[in-house]
């Protein structure tokens, strides 16, 4: 059995990009020969391990917890900031924090030395890291060559600015080793993307059980074809996993043709034992192909608790709607499947799907009825190759 919720660990390309970025950020900051640059202490400690010259760079200052420490009389920076400008700079920092402007990140930011020396009220005192990086590139000093090459060569669909903002977000709160911070971040991204996949499609699948939604859904459209998406997620290659994590696909990803599912079983009221584990209503999905069985457990909030893949030669067992099923080549096949259907013929909480034909016309009907700002419309764009949302 393979735990798909840990699948992100199989591919290190996305995680490696943060390591490469950190190394080059340390090099870039060593070019700070003008203005004042302020870095949170925990982040500075990691960067200084990479580039020891940062410890003696007179243009770099640090703070421990609150960035307003730099404005206190006890801080080393106090001798460079005239007393009459303290309130002005504090007000500007508060404004930047409140409005969350892209240029400002409290983990690394600059103060314009020329504005401070002139003491001109109304000047912009705050400098963003992105401005600093643009100036480095313009002057030919440094342009993060390894980071850009990695993003391009490893199918990572995030811009440099997105990546550096993510890095500053995951690294500011502790002095943990970067690999642990990055792993937690990538795991969170993966689970978040999985939840997005479920949020739209599973709401439709649930609504399709009720007669009032037939007018919208159309009786000719078998929503079970969406199960193929979950089957494909469980079989992502490393390249596809990186694309899934970093924005190449929309909320309902489309990876092309894989081994198609043969049978899907949705259990809307699974074994009562789950009630002792989870708070919300639980739904289980089983997707069977010629060689594999996928088992998914999620809450009504589309929080995914299990996403496991079984090979049919592993001699394991699963419980489907109270029945113990052997995961082997006879799993849900022929007489075994016939018996399962008979046992659950009148059970409205067990929905069995055997048709996975993609009906694009019916899918368009659903997508357009929701308006263009929905995951189903975006999924149609994926199918015709319009993947690059972030560019």
154 in Cβ contact with 242 (< 8 Å): yes
pLDDT of residue 45: 92
Residues 174 and 214 in one domain: no
Residues 22 and 167 in one domain: yes
Does the residue 169 lie in any domain? yes
Average pLDDT over the chain reads 83
Confidence of residue 353 (pLDDT cuts 50, 70, 90): confident
Place of tokens 């992105």: 130
> Which among 126-130, 146-150, 286-290, 363-367 has the top mean pLDDT?
146-150
pLDDT of residue 213: 45
Which range, of 56-60, 113-117, 120-124, averages the lowest pLDDT? 120-124
* 3 state DSSP class of 123: coil
* 3 state DSSP class of 209: coil
Confidence of residue 308 (pLDDT cuts 50, 70, 90): very high
Q: Per-residue pLDDT averaged across 220-235, rounded?
A: 76
291-297 long-range CB contacts below 8 Å, 24 or more apart? 291/259, 292/231, 292/234, 292/235, 292/259, 293/318, 293/327, 293/331, 293/332, 294/4, 294/230, 294/231, 294/234, 296/230, 297/270
Q: Report d(CA 191, CA 245) in Å as an integer.
A: 9
Does the residue 43 lie in any domain? yes
- Residue by residue, DSSP assigns 234-272 as HT--HHHHHHHHHTSS-SS------SPPSEEEEESS--G
Confidence of residue 220 (pLDDT cuts 50, 70, 90): very low
Which residues, 6+ apart, have CB-to-CB distance to 333 below 8 Å? none
| pLDDT top residue among 383 and 102 | 383
Does the residue 184 lie in any domain? no
Is the per-residue pLDDT at 60 higher than 80? yes
For residue 11, the tally of other CB atoms under 10 A from its CB is 21
Residues 257 and 203 in one domain: yes
* 3 state DSSP class of 128: coil
End-of-domain residue from the set 126, 150, 179:
179
Does the residue 391 lie in any domain? no
Q: Per-residue pLDDT averaged across 306-316, rounded?
A: 91
Q: Per-residue pLDDT averaged across 345-367, rounded?
A: 80
The parent domain of residue 319 ranges over 190-383
Which range, of 163-177, 306-320, 351-365, averages the lowest pLDDT? 351-365
Residues 171 and 204 in one domain: no
Q: Per-residue pLDDT averaged across 148-157, rounded?
A: 93
Does the residue 185 lie in any domain? no
Q: Per-residue pLDDT averaged across 49-69, rounded?
A: 92
pLDDT of residue 38: 93
pLDDT of residue 380: 79
Confidence of residue 219 (pLDDT cuts 50, 70, 90): very low
Residues 116 and 203 in one domain: no
Residues 214 and 156 in one domain: no
Share of the chain above pLDDT 90, in %: 32
Residues 59 and 203 in one domain: no
The total number of structural domains that make up the chain = 2
End-of-domain residue from the set 156, 179, 202:
179
Which range, of 25-29, 157-161, 332-336, 366-370, averages the lowest pLDDT? 366-370
* 3 state DSSP class of 292: strand
Q: Report d(CA 153, CA 319) in Å as an integer.
A: 43
* 3 state DSSP class of 366: helix
Does the residue 44 lie in any domain? yes
- Residue by residue, DSSP assigns 308-345 as EEEETTS-EEEEETTEEEEESTTTT-HHHHHHHHHHTT
How many residues comprise the chain?
Answer: 391
Residues 103 and 217 in one domain: no
242-259 pLDDT tens trace: 989 998 877 777 776 667
Residues 172 and 293 in one domain: no
Place of tokens 């009459």: 84
Lookup: tokens for 368:
């357009």
End-of-domain residue from the set 154, 179, 204:
179
Does the residue 16 lie in any domain? yes
């Amino acid at each position: 059995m393979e735990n798909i919720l840990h699948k992100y660990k199989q591919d290190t390309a996305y995680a490696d990009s943060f390591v490469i970025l950190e190394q080059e950020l340390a090099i870039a900051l060593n070019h700070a020969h003008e203005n004042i640059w302020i870095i949170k202490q925990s982040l500075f400690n990691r960067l200084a391990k990479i580039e020891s010259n940062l410890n003696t760079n007179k243009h770099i200052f640090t703070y421990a917890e609150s960035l307003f420490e730099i404005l206190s009389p006890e801080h080393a920076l106090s001798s460079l900031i005239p007393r009459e400008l303290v309130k002005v700079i504090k007000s500007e920092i508060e404004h930047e924090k409140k409005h969350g402007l892209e240029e400002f990140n409290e983990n690394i930011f600059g103060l314009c030395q020329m504005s401070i020396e002139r003491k001109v009220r109304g000047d912009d005192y705050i400098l963003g890291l992105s401005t600093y990086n643009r100036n480095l590139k313009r002057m030919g000093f440094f342009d993060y060559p390894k980071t850009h090459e990695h993003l391009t060569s490893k199918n990572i669909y995030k811009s440099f600015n997105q990546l550096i903002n993510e890095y500053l977000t995951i690294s500011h709160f502790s002095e943990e080793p970067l690999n642990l911070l990055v792993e937690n971040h990538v795991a969170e991204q993966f689970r978040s993307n999985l939840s997005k996949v479920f949020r739209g499609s599973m709401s439709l699948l649930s609504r399709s059980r009720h007669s009032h939604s037939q007018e919208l859904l159309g009786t000719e459209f078998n929503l079970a074809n969406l199960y193929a998406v979950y089957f494909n997620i469980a079989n992502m290659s490393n390249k596809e996993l990186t694309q899934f994590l970093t924005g190449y696909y929309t909320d309902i990803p489309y990876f092309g043709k894989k081994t198609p599912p043969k049978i899907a079983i949705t259990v809307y009221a699974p074994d009562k034992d789950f009630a002792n584990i989870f708070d919300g209503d639980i739904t289980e999905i089983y997707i069977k192909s010629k060689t594999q069985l996928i088992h998914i457990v999620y809450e009504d909030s589309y929080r995914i608790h299990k996403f496991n893949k079984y090979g049919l030669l592993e001699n394991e067992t699963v419980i489907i709607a109270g029945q113990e099923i052997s995961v082997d080549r006879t799993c849900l096949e022929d007489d075994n499947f016939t018996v399962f259907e008979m046992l659950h013929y009148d059970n409205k909480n067990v929905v069995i799907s055997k048709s996975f034909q993609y009906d694009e016309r019916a899918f368009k009907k659903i997508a357009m009825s929701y308006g263009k700002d929905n995951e189903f419309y975006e999924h149609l764009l994926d199918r015709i190759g319009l993947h690059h949302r972030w560019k």
